[in-house]
């Protein structure tokens, strides 16, 4: 048994509002967890202290000593350098060029692998979720923005020193909406939960979504996934049409992805999808199947993510396990060979 088989792995998911640390055994069975609020507006130093504290509390709850940790995987929002552990930028946390990998390595003395948080989630679904046994899977996660990730033959797709698959920032239309930077008509600008909520607030103001108006008014902070699903359930047809329109837009993005990568599985997750899986995934599937080139039509499926909040922590831990070199098991000392008996002297010729 290799030395790492006796040790534990830590998966960590850093979100804009909450963070989660989970301790796993070598077979990635969860042993214990610790969840905390991120408090991102408190600054990078404070958030890092909270990350370390969450990991330490998870270790305490599972009686895990520092020397038992084989590696840590952490999923962080925004573009990251998977080689050095540098988070290039994280808008929601106000981070810029924060080397979280180096900081955690110094604190815990073990290998640390930093991933984009959506990459971690997609890898988790690939390892033991909705995309298990896929050759290639792409994840699309609509929320405040739209995150994306790709796992190709057990490898997370990324650039030489930066994560990629920024699906939300690909241009999908000639529309004028933006999502926080200058490029208009992006998938995120047209089809994120925030984009849907903004249009739904207008519909509520115009009297076209009476249930939504009654429950939330026009407050964007209140028009979240559950409120949108409730609005549809109670007959706000305008809101349903907004969600279907956004889903058709995502379906066209899936067409582009299928033509580029030919994934066999498209995984969709996040609160919006969880609240209305049939409406969203059904619309995305119909749009994509209708629009792809004929040879690709039956070569992919669009499915709902299965692991919820555990996807990113599991994916991060699994990636750390995959990427951490395992010390070879010492070979047993060779048993000395028995001496070969000497051949008897042949009889002398007479």
Q: What are the b/e assignments for 18-54, b being 16+ CB within 10 Å? A: ebbbbbbeeebeebbbbeeebebeeebeebbebbeeb
In angstroms, rounded to a whole number, what is the distance separating the alpha carbons of residues 323 and 86? 17
Q: Which two tokens stand for residue 313?
A: 């922590």
pLDDT at 4: 55
Contact by Cβ (8 Å): 151, 136: yes
pLDDT at 42: 87
- Nearest one of 107, 77, 81 to 90, comparing CA atoms: 77
If phi over 0 gives left and psi between -120 and 50 gives alpha, with beta otherwise, what is residue 105?
A: alpha
pLDDT at 337: 46
pLDDT at 325: 83
Measured CA angle at 330 (ends 326, 336), to 5 deg: 160
* This prediction's pTM: 0.88
Pairing of strands 8-14, 69-76: parallel
- Nearest one of 325, 323, 309 to 34, comparing CA atoms: 309
For the CA atoms of 307, 35, 123, 105, what is the dihedral angle to 10 degrees? -160
pLDDT at 5: 60
The contacts found for 174-182 with CB under 8 angstroms, 24 or more apart, are 179/145, 180/91
Q: Which two tokens stand for residue 223?
A: 């028009």
pLDDT at 330: 47
* Averaged pLDDT, groups of 10, the chain, 350 residues long: 71 93 96 93 92 97 95 95 94 90 97 96 97 96 92 96 93 84 89 95 96 95 95 97 98 97 96 96 98 97 96 98 73 48 48
């Amino acid at each position: 048994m290799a030395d790492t088989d006796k040790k534990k792995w830590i998966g960590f998911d850093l979100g804009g509002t909450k963070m989660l640390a989970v301790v796993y055994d070598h077979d990635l069975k969860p042993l214990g967890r610790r969840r905390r609020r991120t408090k991102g507006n408190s600054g990078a130093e404070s958030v890092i202290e909270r990350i370390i504290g969450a990991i330490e509390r998870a270790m305490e709850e599972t009686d895990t000593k520092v020397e038992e940790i084989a590696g840590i995987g952490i999923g962080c929002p925004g573009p990251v350098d998977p080689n050095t552990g540098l988070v290039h930028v994280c808008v929601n946390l106000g981070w810029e060029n924060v080397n979280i990998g180096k900081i955690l390595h110094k604190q815990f003395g073990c290998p640390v692998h930093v991933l984009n948080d959506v990459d971690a989630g997609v890898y988790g679904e690939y390892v033991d979720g909705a995309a298990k046994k896929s050759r290639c899977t792409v994840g699309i996660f609509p929320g405040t923005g739209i995150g994306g990730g790709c796992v190709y033959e057990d490898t997370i797709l990324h650039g030489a020193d930066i994560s990629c698959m920024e699906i939300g920032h690909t241009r999908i239309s000639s529309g004028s909406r933006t999502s926080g930077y200058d490029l208009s008509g992006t998938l995120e600008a047209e089809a994120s939960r925030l984009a849907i909520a903004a249009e739904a607030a207008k519909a509520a103001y115009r009297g076209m979504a009476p249930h939504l108006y009654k429950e939330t008014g026009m407050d964007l902070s209140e028009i979240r996934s559950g409120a949108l699903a409730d609005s549809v359930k109670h007959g706000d047809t305008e809101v349903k049409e907004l969600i279907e329109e956004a889903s058709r837009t995502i379906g066209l993005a899936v067409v582009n992805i299928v033509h580029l990568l030919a994934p066999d599985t498209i995984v969709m997750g996040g609160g919006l999808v969880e609240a209305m899986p049939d409406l969203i995934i059904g619309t995305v599937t119909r749009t994509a199947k209708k629009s792809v080139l004929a040879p690709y039509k039956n070569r992919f499926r669009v499915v709902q993510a299965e692991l919820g909040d555990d996807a990113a922590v599991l994916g991060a831990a699994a990636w750390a396990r995959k990427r951490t070199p395992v010390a070879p098991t010492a070979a047993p000392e060779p048993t000395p060979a028995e001496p070969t008996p000497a051949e008897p002297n042949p009889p002398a010729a007479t």
